[in-house]
Amino acid sequence: MTGLPSTPTQKTSAEARARCNAAIKQAYEEEVKSPARVTHQEHVEQVQQLEEVSKHTSALQELKKARARAQYMLQDAEEDLEEAYGKASESISELILPSATRSLLNATAEGLAGTFTPPNTPAKACRTAGPPAALPIVSGGCVDLFAALPTPSPKKLVLSPTKTITNSYYVVYHGRGGMQGIFDSWKSRADDYGPDCLCDGYEHRLSKKFSNANKARMYYDECLESGVLDILRDEPSSDEVLFVIKGALPGVYTKRLAFLIEGLAWRGSVVMAGNGTRAQGDAQFRQWKATGHVEVFPANSPRRHF
Q: What is the residue extent of each domain of the chain?
A: 58-296
Least confidently predicted of 61-75, 186-200, 215-229, 258-272: 61-75
Of 123 and 40, the one with more pLDDT = 40
**What residue type is 56 in one-letter code?**
H
Give the separation between CA 249 and CA 265, rounded to whole angstroms.
8
In terms of Cβ atoms closer than 10 Å to its own Cβ (0-12, 13-18, 19+), residue 264 is buried
Chain segment 144-155, per-residue pLDDT in tens:
665 434 444 444
Residue 276 has pLDDT above 70, yes or no: yes
Residue 188's pLDDT band, with cuts at 50, 70 and 90, is: confident
Residue 227: pLDDT over 50: yes
The span from the CA of 42 to the CA of 32, in Å, is 20
Per-residue pLDDT band at 9 (split at 50, 70, 90): low
Q: What pLDDT is stored for residue 62 in this prediction? A: 82
In the chain, which ranges are continuous DSSP H helix?
A: 8-33, 40-96, 99-113, 195-199, 213-226, 228-232, 256-258, 278-290
